[in-house]
Structure 1
Amino acid sequence: MYAFQDEFPQVSGLRYLNHAAVAPWPRRAALAVSAFADQNMQLGARDYPAWLVVEQRLRERLRRLLNAPDTADIALLKNTSEALSFVAFGLDWQPGDQVVISDQEFPSNRVVWQALAPFGVEVIQVNLSGTDPEAALLAACGPRTRLLSISAVQYASGLRLDLPRLGQGCRRRGVLLCVDAIQQLGALPFDVQACECAFAMADGHKWLLGPEGLAVFYCRSDLRAQLKLHEYGWHMLEHSGDYERPDWQPAHSARRFECGSPNMLGTMALEASLSLLEEVSMQAVGKALSERMHWLQEGLLALPGVQLLSPAEPARQAGILTFRLAGWEQQSLFARLKAEQVICAPRGGGIRLSPHFYTEARVIDETLALLHQLIAS
C-alpha cells in the first residue's frame, strides 16, 4: 500500500486519534495551499481559468467518491449544516408532515428539522439502542412521514447503519432518505445509488482529510428543482458568466445551491486530499481502517475496567470507538490523555478514539500502553 509517512509528517510523540472531529491534512494538501498562496501573492487571479480546472477535478473526484450519476448532482457548499438546511427549508412541507431521525444525531441533523415546527412539521426521534435499528427507523415511518434523515455513522457511539436497507425501505414507503455522511465518507466506501438516498452531504475536514469550510452536497437530479431556493447570487445562475444578461434562471445543475463566489482556497486543499484517497482507493482505505479498528478494539477490551460504548461487530463500525474507563471521570481522563499527546474527544459519555487508514502502529500501541499505566496507577 501507499507509503503514508511522507504524507503525514506529524510531530514526534503525537498520537492523533481524532479524525471524527478535525483531521490533519496530508502533505500534498498543505503544498497545494502554499502554492496557491504564492500564486495569489505574485500573480493575483491572472490564472483563474486554471483554478476552475482544479474545481472541476474536485467535482469529478467527489462524484466518483459518492458514485453519483453525474457531476451535475454535486454542489460545493460551506458545510453539512448548510446542505441540511437547503433540504429542510427547500421541501414544500404541509402541516402534519413528519420527519424521522434517530435519538443519537449530532445537533446539525436534529435542530434543522426541529426548526420546521412553525410549519407544522413533527420530528420523530427513534431509539437506536435495540438489536435492529434499521427496523426501528422504518417502523417509525408512517403515512405522514415525508423524510427520514439519518447519519450514516453516529458521531458519539460510532454505530454504522445499513444504508441500502434503509433506502429500500424508504422507497417502498414513499419516503425520502437524507444521509448525513460526514462520519463515513472518506473512511469507508459510500454509494448514493446503492443506498437510494435522495440527498447526502458531508464536510471535507474529517475523513476526507481536507479543510473546514468546504462540503459536498449530493441532490438527486429529479429533486433539484423541487427544493425552493432561499439564497441567490451570480454563481447559481444558469448563465453565470453573462453578467449583462437581463433575464436569469437558476442553474439546472446542483450549482443552483452555490449562490456566490467559490471557496477556491478550500478547493485546492480538498482536491489534493482526495487525490490521495483515490490513489490508495477507498476499498484499501476501508480495509486498512478496519484493521486498525480491530487492533484498537482488541487492545481496549484486554484492559481491565474498560467499557466499550461502541458496537463491537465489524459490520456496525466505521472509524469510531468510544469507551469508558472505570474510576475515571470523562473530562479528567480526556485532560490526562491530551496532556500525553493523545488527540481524542469526549463524546457520548466516554472518550472517542478515531484512527484513519494511515495511523501508525505506534500510535495505537502507545495509547493502549498509556491507558494500561493509568489503570495500574
Structure 2
Amino acid sequence: MDGNIAETRQRLRDAMPVARRWAYFDHAAVAPVSGPAAAAMQRWVDESVSEGDTMWPEWGRQLKSMRQSAANLIGAATDEIALVPNTTAGINLVAEGLDWRSGDNLVTLGDEYPSNLYPWMHLADRGVETRRVPTADGVVDYDQLADRSDDRTRLITVSWVAFSNGCRRNLDAIAEIAQRKGALLFVDAIQGLGVFPLDVSRTPIDFLAADGHKWLLGPEGAGIAYIRRDRLPLLRATAVGAHSVVHAYDYTHIELKLKQDAARYEGGSLNVPGMFGLGASIDLLQSLGVENVAAAILDATDSICSKLREGGFRVVSPRDGEQRSGIVSFEFPGADLLAVRRHCLEQGVALACRAGRIRVSAHAYNTGEDIDRLMSSLATFTE
C-alpha cells in the first residue's frame, strides 16, 4: 500500500471513534461524527451551560474561522460562503431567488436526489420547465446534456457524485457546456465535498451547496452554500431576517440594507454548535490533504469492487478513472435487500439499500479488515 494512503488512513481512523465497533460503510447516508467535531460541539455545550451568551464574542470569532475553512476547502472567498442548515436550503436559495420568467427552462439529470429535483419542479407554476437528461447507471452523455440546453435555459443543475451509484461527474465539462449555452451552473456537492478536490476559482461554478453530515464527517443541520461573488445580485434574498443587514446587531436601526456578501442569506440564528463541529471536521480533512483522502477512498473502493466481483456480485457503479468515488453499488440477485442490511448491521457492518441495489460508501479510514468484515457478512447472509 502507498505510504501516504496508509498514513492518511490511520490518522483519520484515530479521529473516528466509530471505528472501534463498526465497519462503517454508510457515509453516503449519514456519517458518524468525527472526534474533533464532537469535541468542538461539546466545548460549545460546556461554555453555553457555564457562561451563557457572554461567550458570543469568542463564538463569533470561531464562526469567522469556520467560514474561512469552508472557503479554503473549495478555493472561494469568505464573502462567497453562506452557512446553511442543509443542502436543500442551499438549493432553494437559487430556486427561489432567481428571477425566473415563463418559458425559461433548467436542465438536470434523470437520477438526481429528490432534493435536487423538487425545488426546480416546484417552479412549474411559474412556467419554468425542468428537463431531465437520462444517465446510463450514472454516466452522463455530455453531448445530450448540451443538446437539451437552449437559449431559454437559465440553469444547469447536477450532483457532482450520483447518490445511488457513485458516478463522479466531470464538472469542468459541465461548466463548459453551461458557459457555451449562456446558462448558470449549480452543483449539489454533498457526495463529494471534502474528499475530492474542487477549486471554484478554476472550475467556473456559479452556485454550490453541501451538507456536512456525509463525507465531511460533521453533524446534521450544518452545511455551506457558495454563491459566486458576481452572481450575488442575481439572487433575491427570500428569507430575510435580522442578520441579513449590514447593521445586523443594531436592533433599533430599521433599514433594509442587505449585506453585500453571501451572509445576507443567514437571516436568523445559526446552528452554532453544528457549525463548530463541521468546521472541526473540515479542518481535520484539510490537515490530511484532500488529495490524500481521495486516494485512500479510491484505494478502499477499488479493493471492495475487486472482492465483490470475486464473490460473484455485479458492480454497477462506474469504475473508470475519475468517474470513481467513495460509493459502490452492486446487485444481490434474489435477496431481500432490507434483510441483507439487517443481517450486516447485526454483524457490525453498516451499509444501505438504494435503487434496488446494495450501496456501500467507504471513507478514507476504512481498512482491509473492515472490508473483510463486509465480505464475510455478505457471504453468511441466508434468508
Q: Which residue of 2 aligns with 1:252?
A: 260
Structure 1 residue 223, shift from structure 2 partner: 1.4
Is the 1:322–1:348 Cα contact (8 Å) retained in structure 2? no
Moved more, 130-139 or 309-318: 130-139
Structure 1 residue 11, shift from structure 2 partner: 6.1
Structure 1 residue 95, shift from structure 2 partner: 0.9
Is the 1:189–1:283 Cα contact (8 Å) retained in structure 2? yes
Residue of 279, 303, 312 corresponding to 1:271: 279
Residue 358 of structure 1 aligns to a residue whose secondary structure is coil
Q: Which residue of 2 aligns with 1:359?
A: 366
Is the 2:166–2:317 Cα contact (8 Å) retained in structure 1? yes
Residue of 163, 167, 180 corresponding to 1:159: 167
Q: Which residue of 2 aligns with 1:127?
A: 134
Structure 1 position 37 matched with structure 2 position 34:
no
As a proportion of its length, which structure holds more helix?
A: 2
Moved more, 33-42 or 115-124: 33-42
TM-score normalized by structure 1? 0.95
The AA in structure 2 aligned to 1:91 is L
Is the 1:297–1:321 Cα contact (8 Å) retained in structure 2? yes
Is the 1:7–1:28 Cα contact (8 Å) retained in structure 2? yes
Percent same amino acid at aligned positions? 33
Residue 38 of structure 2 aligns to a residue whose secondary structure is helix
The AA in structure 2 aligned to 1:169 is I
Is the 1:322–1:352 Cα contact (8 Å) retained in structure 2? yes
Q: Which runs of 5+ in 1 are unaligned?
A: none
Q: Deviations over 1:178-226 (max 9, x none)?
A: 0000001012112223321110000010011101111100001111122
Q: Which residue of 2 aligns with 1:286?
A: 294
Residue 116 of structure 1 aligns to a residue whose secondary structure is helix
Is the 1:239–1:248 Cα contact (8 Å) retained in structure 2? no
The AA in structure 2 aligned to 1:279 is S
Residue 212 of structure 1 aligns to a residue whose secondary structure is coil
Structure 1 residue 136, shift from structure 2 partner: 2.0
TM-score normalized by structure 2? 0.94
Q: Which residue of 2 aligns with 1:92?
A: 99
| d(CA) in 2 for partners of 1:34, 1:239 | 31
Residue of 203, 206, 209 corresponding to 2:214: 206
The correspondence of residues 212-361 of structure 1 with structure 2, limited to 5 A, is 212-304=220-312, 306-361=313-368
Residue 302 of structure 2 aligns to a residue whose secondary structure is helix
Q: Deviations over 1:103-139 (max 9, x none)?
A: 1000000011100011000111101118652222122
Structure 1 position 17 matched with structure 2 position 36:
no
| d(CA) in 2 for partners of 1:174, 1:202 | 24
CA RMSD of superposed structures (Å): 1.6
Is the 1:128–1:136 Cα contact (8 Å) retained in structure 2? no
Q: Which runs of 5+ in 2 are unaligned?
A: 1-6
The AA in structure 1 aligned to 2:367 is E
Q: Which residue of 2 aligns with 1:136?
A: 144
| 1:348–1:259 CA distance, 2 compared to 1 (3 A) | same
Is the 2:160–2:191 Cα contact (8 Å) retained in structure 1? yes
Is the 2:97–2:234 Cα contact (8 Å) retained in structure 1? yes
| d(CA) in 1 for partners of 2:19, 2:256 | 52
